[in-house]
């Protein structure tokens, strides 16, 4: 009830607007129909095209294009944590939580502690944690850990990316992973190498299945 009044109050102070073009919209976090038409592309990533060998599947909601590009970029590199609401809305409206009834955990691609300190938050957590909890899926950010500081993948040539990420992740609580069905989430999938490496490590530790879910799919 309190949340309802608080939201109504926020709508008066900050009328909801599309983050890309500022057109008034129905609710906080929403995108307008025109901007949505430019970015929306709900689909499964083609595993063989992306050379994904460990991930069982990977779902994306949008193309990394138009207004979405700036929102994702600014959330990651310009401290715009508040943009998380627009990315979460895209997931909430386009991913059916009922499809994930078999899932034991949702976990973000971890950041190295140094990067986490710089940024102040993990963008994947800011986007997906509330979505997972609303769907009654346990959120676990304490199992997968990034132990090595890696160069951002987009700064590297395709051939260098695999070597850059290999061995960067470890499992903190192996007993928690055995026979579990897991979703790993991130803001964007580009080559898929990072997600696939996380899946490889989880599977090696005994995970039954590992699925990816990201807001956007970007060009290589």
Note the residues at the interface with Zn ion (CB under 5 A). 18, 20-21, 23, 32, 35
For the bound state, the minimum distance from the C-beta of residue 23 to Zn ion, rounded and expressed in Å, comes to 5
Closest C-alpha among 33, 47, 31, 7 to residue 215: 31
CB of 67 to Zn ion, least distance (A): 6
Q: Least CB distance from residue 85 to Zn ion, whole Å?
A: 15
Q: Show Cβ contacts of residue 89 under 8 Å, excluding neighbours closer than 6 positions.
A: 29, 30, 31
**Between residues 67 and 192, which has the closer beta carbon with respect to Zn ion?**
67
- Residue closer to Zn ion by CB (options 20, 165) is 20
Helix axes 66-77, 84-94, angle to 10 degrees: 130
E-strand spans in the chain?
40-44, 57-63, 105-108, 144-146, 169-171, 181-189, 209-217
Which CB, 35 or 137, lies closer to Zn ion? 35
Query: What distance in Å separates the CA atoms of residue 140 and residue 46, rounded to the nearest whole number?
Result: 27
CB of 123 to Zn ion, least distance (A): 21
């Amino acid at each position: 009830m309190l949340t309802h009044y608080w939201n109504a109050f926020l709508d008066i102070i900050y009328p909801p607007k599309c983050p890309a073009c500022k057109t008034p919209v129905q609710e906080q976090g929403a995108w307008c129909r025109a901007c949505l038409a430019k970015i929306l592309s709900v689909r499964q990533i083609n595993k063989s095209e992306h050379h994904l060998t460990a991930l069982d599947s990977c779902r994306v909601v949008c193309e990394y294009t138009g207004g979405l590009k700036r929102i994702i970029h600014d959330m990651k590199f310009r401290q715009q944590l508040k943009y998380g609401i627009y990315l979460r809305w895209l997931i909430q409206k386009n991913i059916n939580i009922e499809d994930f009834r078999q899932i034991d955990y949702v976990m973000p691609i971890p950041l190295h502690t140094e990067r986490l300190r710089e940024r102040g938050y993990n963008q994947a957590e800011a986007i997906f944690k509330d979505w997972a909890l609303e769907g009654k899926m346990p959120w676990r950010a304490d199992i997968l850990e990034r132990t090595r500081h890696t160069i951002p993948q987009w700064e590297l040539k395709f051939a260098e990316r695999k070597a850059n990420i290999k061995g960067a992740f470890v499992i903190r609580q192996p007993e928690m992973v055995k026979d579990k069905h897991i979703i790993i989430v991130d803001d964007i999938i580009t080559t898929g190498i990072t997600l696939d490496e996380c899946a490889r490590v989880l599977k090696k530790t005994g995970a039954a299945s590992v699925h990816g879910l990201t807001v956007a799919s970007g060009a290589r």
